[in-house]
Structure 1
Amino acid sequence: MTAREHLKIRAVRAEQGGAGVFAFFLQGSDITRIADISRIRREEQELRGFQRGVIREHVKQITAFLDSGPVLFPNAIILAMAPEIEFASARGRTPGSICEVGDAGTLTIPIYPEGRRAAWIVDGQQRSLALAEARDRSIAVPVIGFVSADLAIQREQFILVNKAKPLPTRLINELLPEVTVLLPRDLAARQLPSALCEALNTDPSSPFYGLIRRESDRKDKVGIVTDSALIETMRMSLKTPAGALGQFKHNGRGNDTEAMYEALLLYWSAVRDTFPDAWGKPPIESRLMHSAGIRAMGALMDPIMLRTDGVSDRVAAVRTTLKRLAPYCAWTGGSWKGLGIDWNDIQSTSQHISKLSDHLMHLERDLARGAA
């Protein structure tokens, strides 16, 4: 008879709510050897499992991060473990004045075939799959395991772990420029725009100097423009080589961030000077400073800046274009002709942002044709 294979690891045991809770480290490749993923499904109308399906793109992004080189990856995996696991306390003298919270020892987990394993992943299934696919299969991963074969308790813990409020987008945006490791694609796309946003907010020569609202602001400092609106505007411009900023993006050869920043200063300074009565006011008084206005004028930046590229006096050309457009804008009063929307009814919804952006771009193009 073949002896049952076991995984023995050093662990610390504590008690919570009458259940044994263990803290230990595993090599990344060992997690899927000892733990199953309990997929949510229905069998004969009865709900089984609790985990969502695999998000392959997410797993791919995590794997790319793990394969980028020596990485810090302290994110704990949470496991539910069957009562058949065994724990033996370590013998020896206890150090004086030690904080007696947990009991150190050896945890023994039997290894069974897939579908009958002695543990289930409660939190971290995408990370576990990525760790199993990473080139370095020996990455030490922190694990928290609690003993329970009760599916109801496993589901309860799954919901509690995953219902936590996600980090605010604006907090992540502000932190991104300080991060130097390889980031998942969605975060990497926001890193450069966030750095440019910070420069616009802190540069005395910037039209946005001191006007941008960031997560780290003191409560007595109230910015006018949300950083998320500006960051999204820049992110969209960077997505395509035809963008006012994207033309300075050179994949594999670095980015000309200085040229990007100069383009932003040129365009937004012209916007400020074209609409002096609307600039710098709270969004309730000026929809130009509202996120919808910033997004719409940001969308207009690409065609205006590209059309004036190569002109001898580019600053004058951009200002002439915006001046031609100004009489048709309703930032602080009246209504938007052609949209049938009062100035203060413009909201930060995808529908209003799209409508206002399209309206301004079509209007500017028609005015440019008439002036030609």
Structure 2
Amino acid sequence: MAPKPKEIVVRALHTTQGDGLDVYAFFISGGDITRLADISRIERDATDDLKGFQRPEIRSHVKGIVDYLNQGSVLFPNAIILAMSPEVRFVAARGSKPTGDAGISQAGTLTVPIFEAGERVAWIVDGQQRSLALAQAKNISIPVPVIGFVSDSIEVQREQFILVNKAKPLSSRLINELLPETSGIHLPRDLSARRVPTELCNLLNRDSNSPFHKLIKRMTDRSASPAVITDTAVVAMIRNSLSNPLGALAAYKARPNEAADAESMYRVLLIFWSAVRDVFTDAWGRDPRHSRLMHSAGIVAMGVLMDRIYAKLSGVGEDYKTIRKELETIAPHCAWTKGQWDLLGIAWNEIQNTPKDIKRLQDALVRTYATQVKR
């Protein structure tokens, strides 16, 4: 008979939130957090499916917390947030309720089984750096507050991870990669609005028919990835078009009683950027150091030109051949890989990823296009 797994038993308060999710509040020794909970690192498997949600460990941050904890008697009231599987067990305490108790929570005993790493019944949603530090501190018995909600749904865990870290310096690239993997039902309005651009960005990178196929850098990229374009640049390009009333994608965004038409948005992006790739073949797919078209400034600025071209062609023709013909009119005046931008008076590689340079580049592209149209 297999030995009974170890377990941690603590006094806890129980309540429910959301759609009947069990939530517990309790204290445990700091060194026990990494014994009962795994850290679900964000990565992609062999089939490119997203796994986990936590960013990589920041060693300098962990060391700083360890140094603080090792000072002696320290105050550490910051709660760790855990997602817990239904395998945890709660037994309510017997006895009458105290006079005046509002009945919001119920006291009792929570039992959490302890298993090997990778098979644990809890996952750290917020506080991974603190948890790692607590396990390394000289005093691993310092009592630490924990809030745990019961859900083994990775989607719910990712949603809570984004919400908890929204007000913290969480990488926008990490949020961009996580958002398409959440339902968005309970996300704040600003985060929900970000789902469409990030979904389109992910699809552009995955679709073998996309000119961006495997060219977009993501947080989970392996070192051997051929990606050269940052996901933030592509997301910014899409978001700019959606926010511009005359943008190429704006006509398809969500309305009060109508969902966003992501399929039409994607079709526009495929047509335009396929034409860009085919007109500027010598600049496409190269490292940004050798091609400013692949630079964040180039992607965002060309997105503005996309809006201008589609505004001009609205109701006339927006097929690949027409878009390519429009782009060919400005091609001789572009200096993506060599030469000089005549309207800017600077060399091709002097353009940087700054608001000033992006504005100057997009203005130069639009003015050049307007001039060629008049001719």
TM surpasses 0.5: yes
Deviations 1:96-127 (A, max 9, x none): 9999xxxxxxxxxxxxxxxxxxxxxxxxxxxx
Partner of residue 195 from structure 2, selected from 191, 208, 211? 191
Say what the alpha-carbon RMSD is for the aligned residues. 3.6
- Which of 224, 227, 239 in structure 1 is aligned with 2:243? 239
Shift of 1:260: 0.6
Describe the SS at the equivalent of 2:322. helix
Matching of residue 208 in structure 1 with residue 212 in structure 2: yes
Residues 233-258 of structure 1 show CA distances to partners (whole Å, capped at 9, x for unaligned) of 10011113421001112412111111
2:219 & 2:76 partners in 1: Cα distance?
Answer: 40
Instruction: State the match for 1:249 in structure 2.
Output: 253
CA distance in 1, matches of 2:299, 2:181: 25
Structure 1 residue matching 2:329: 3-state secondary structure: helix
1:29 is aligned to none
C-alpha change, 1:168 and 1:21, in structure 2 (3 Å) is closer
1:321 deviates by 1.1
Aligned length: 238
Distance 2:79 2:302 in 1: 52
Q: In structure 1, what is the equivalent of residue 280 of structure 2?
A: 275
Separation in 2 of the partners of 1:253 and 1:188?
15
Partner of 2:44: none
Q: Where does residue 340 of structure 2 map in the other structure?
A: 335
Q: Which amino acid aligns with 1:172?
A: I
Distance 1:310 1:207 in 2: 25
Ranges in structure 2 where 5+ consecutive residues have no aligned partner: 1-12, 15-24, 31-72, 82-108, 115-144, 149-164
**1:317 offset after TM fit, Å?**
1.9
Who is 1:179 aligned against?
182
Partner of 1:363 in structure 2? 368
User: In structure 1, what residue type is equivalent to 2:314?
Assistant: D
CA shift, 1:183, in A, is: 2.3
Note if contact 2:26-2:146 (Cα within 8 Å) is conserved in structure 1: no
The amino acid of 2:357's aligned partner reads H
Residues 131-184 of structure 1: CA deviation (Å, up to 9, x unaligned): xxxxxxxxxx9779xxxxxxxxxxxxxxxxx9x972211111011111113322
Residue aligning to 1:28: none
Report how far residue 229 of structure 1 moved: 0.2
Q: 1:1-372 to 2 correspondence within 5 Å? A: 12=26, 17=73, 166-180=169-183, 181-251=185-255, 252-312=257-317, 314-370=319-375
Q: Which runs of at least 4 in structure 1 moved beyond 6 Å after TM superposition?
A: 22-25, 94-99, 141-144
- Distance in 2 of aligned mates of 1:20 and 1:228: 36
Q: Give the drift of 1:222.
A: 3.9
Residue identity opposite 2:371 in structure 1: D
Calculate the TM-score normalised by the size of structure 2.
Answer: 0.57
Return the alpha-carbon distance in structure 2 between the equivalents of residues 291 and 242 of structure 1: 22
Partners of 1:322 and 1:297 lie apart in 2 by 10
Q: How far apart are 1:336 and its partner, in Å? A: 0.5
- Cα distance in 2 between the residues matched to 1:290 and 1:232: 13
CA radius of gyration, larger in: 1
Q: Which amino acid aligns with 1:334?
A: G
Aligned residue identity for 2:211 = P
Whole-angstrom distance in 1 between the partners of 2:339 and 2:244: 35
Matched position secondary structure for 1:270:
helix
Distance, in Å, in 2 between the alignment partners of 1:328 and 1:98 is: 67
Deviation at 1:309, TM superposition (A): 2.6
Superposition TM-score, scaled by structure 1 size:
0.57
